[in-house]
Structure 1
Amino acid sequence: MKRILLNSLAMILILPSLLTGCSEPQQVKVTFSDQPKIINLENNDDTLASSLTKQGYSVAELKQNYEPSIPWDQKLGGQKTVQLTCKCRVSLSVAGKDLGTFQTTQETVEDVLKSKKVQLTAWDEINVPLNQKIKEGTKIVVDRLEQRVKKKVEEVPYKTKKIEDNQMADGKTEVKQDGKEGKKVYQVTMLYKNGQPVVEDGEPVVTQKLIDSVEPVEKIVKVGTNKEMAQKESVNLTSAKETGTLTVEATGYTATGSRTATGTYPHRGTIAVDPDVIPLGTKLYIPGYGYGVAEDTGGAINGKIIDLFFDSEQEAINWGRRTVTIKILK
C-alpha cells in the first residue's frame, strides 16, 4: 500500500515537468506591406529590434525602409503579429500634370490617391489597379477623360421647280412660291484626354447624332411659254420712240425671291433704277442687254446707276459692272 502511494506521488511530481517540456514557445509573425515575406520571431522579452538582429536582419536597413506597427524597442511579449509598412517612393501624375515623387506609408494605390485628395470619376483611367500594394518606385498615372458636346447646324438648300405657263409671255418668269432653306441639327461629341483631343488614326475622335431637322421648302417658278405674247411685248418696246439718252453705270442681279417695287416678280427685262433719275415704268434700251422697263429700285441704286435682271447668277457675274449709254423710250 505504501509503495503504491509513493509511486503515485512520483508521477504527480514528474507529470508537470513533462508537460512543461513538451509545450512549444509562442511565435510572433512579422509581415511586410510590400512583399509576401513572413518572419517568425519568438514571443519573449526581447524587443522587436533585438529579435530581428538575432535572426540576422539589419535593423538599421529595416528602419530606413519600413515603419513597424509597434515601436522598434518594444518587447514582443504578448504580441501575435507585427507589420512592417514600406516607406516607399511613389510618383503620381493626374490629368497630365506631374505631381512629383514622394515617400508614403500608404499600403494601396487607392490609399495614396485618398491621401493626396485625388477624387476619381467614371471617366478617369488609371494605369494600375486601385487595390495594388504599394512598392518602392510605384508609378501612378491618372488620365482624365471628358466629353465635350456642342451643336452643329447644316443648311439644306431648297430645290427650284419650274412650271410652264402659256398665259405668260415666253421668257418671262414669276415666282409662285418662295423657297426656304431647311436645316439639320447635330449633337457633336468630342473626346478629350487630359485637356487634349483624343486622336485615332490621325483624326480626332468625334461622334455626331442628328437631333433635329427642318425640311426645305421648294421654290416654284412659273415660266412663260407664250411666244405670241412675247412678240407683242417686244413690238411695243421696239416701236417705242427714243426720247433721249443717259450714260449710267450698269450692274447685274438675279432672283431674290421678292417682288419688285412695282409689285411684279423680276424677269429678264426688269431694271432697277433710282426713280429720282429714271421714273418707274420708263421703257429703256441698254446696249448689250436689250429692251427693258424700270420696275424696281434698290438701296444701292442711287443716281445714275441701274441694275439689270438676269435669269442666272452666272449671267449677272459675266455682265459685271459697265458704263453704258442707254436710250430712254416713250
Structure 2
Amino acid sequence: MEWSTLGRPHKSFCGGTHPRNFRFILLSLCLLLAVVVGSLVFAGYAWAKKDVTLVVDGKEIALETRADRVEDLLKMQGIQLGPRDRVEPGLAEPLTEGARVVIKRAVPVSITAGGKTVELLTTADTVGEALKEAGITTDKDDIVKPGREEKVHSSMSIRVTNVEQVTREIMVPVPYRVRREADPRLPSGQVKIVQAGRQGKEEQRWVLIYHDGREVKRVLEASHLVLRPVDRVVRVGTLQQVSRGGRNITYSRAIEMVATAYTHTGNNTASGVYPRYGVVAVDPRVIPLGTRLYVEGYGYATALDMGSSIRGNRIDLFMESAAEARRWGVRRVMVYVLG
C-alpha cells in the first residue's frame, strides 16, 4: 500500500519533504523572516547610535556615540575630571539624541579680602560668583577689582577692599579777624589793642571714609556756627612827627623799649669807636648798627654798640659816669628811628 504525499511525515517551516509548490512557499517565508530579523537587528544597532555635542572649556566637538549616560560618554572619550570640574548635565543623566554635554574645568584664582589671601580652585564664570563660592560677602560700596561681572580666568588675582563710612560731629574753633585802624595820634610803628579778639565755635559734621580700616578721605557734610567770633581791633599809629624840647622830630618808626644804662669799661664799642654820650647798644636784628635815634629822656643817639644781654626791644644807653648810670636805672621809653 502506498502512502500519499500528504500522508508522509515532514518537518515544519523550511525543513522536510514537500511538494514542489509547497516547498517554494516555505522557502519564501524563510527568506522573508530572515530579512525581517536582519532589519530589526540593523534598526536596533542604528537606534543605539546618537549624535551629541561635547563642549570642553568652550571648544565644541560633534560626536556619534552609543553611550547611554554622560559618564559612559566621558569614559569612551578618555576624559578624566578633576575634583572641582563641573559637568552639565550630571554624570548619571541619560544621554539622548542631540544632547549637549558641557565640561567646565576648574581654574586656580587668588582672592585677597580683609587682609587675608585665599587660593581657590573654581569653575565660577564671573568674579562675583567666585567670591560667593569662597564665602566672601561684599557691600555695594566695597571695591572689587577686577569688577564683579568680569570673566574668571586661570591665575586671576581678585582684591576686595572693604569700604566703610563713619559720620562724626566735632566742635572746632573759628579764628577771629584782626582789624587794623589807622590812628594819627599814635606815633608811627606803635600799635594799641582797642578790643581783644575772641574765637568763635562751629559744629561740623564730617563723613570719614575708611579702606580696610585705614582712613583715606574725609568730607565736610554740614556745618553750623554756634558762637560768632569777635574781631580783634588794633589801632596803628601813623604819626611820624613829635615835638621834643621845642623841636619837631620826624621819624620813620617808633619803638617802645626797655632802656638800661652803662658807662666806661675801658673797651671800644662793637663798631670800634670810643664810647661817649649819645652812643647806645642795641640788638642789630631790631635796630641796625649806625641807625640814628631819638630816645625819650636821653636825647639824640646813634646805635654803635651791642651787648650779650641786649636782645629784642631793649636798649643800653651810655653814661659818662657810673653814678649817672645808676640814676637812670631801668625805664620804659619810646625810641624814635630817625630818617
Q: Give TM-score scaled by structure 2 length.
A: 0.43
Q: Give TM-score scaled by structure 1 length.
A: 0.44
Q: Which has the larger radius of gyration?
A: 2
Asked which structure has the greater RCO (Cα within 8 Å, sep 6+), the reply is: 1
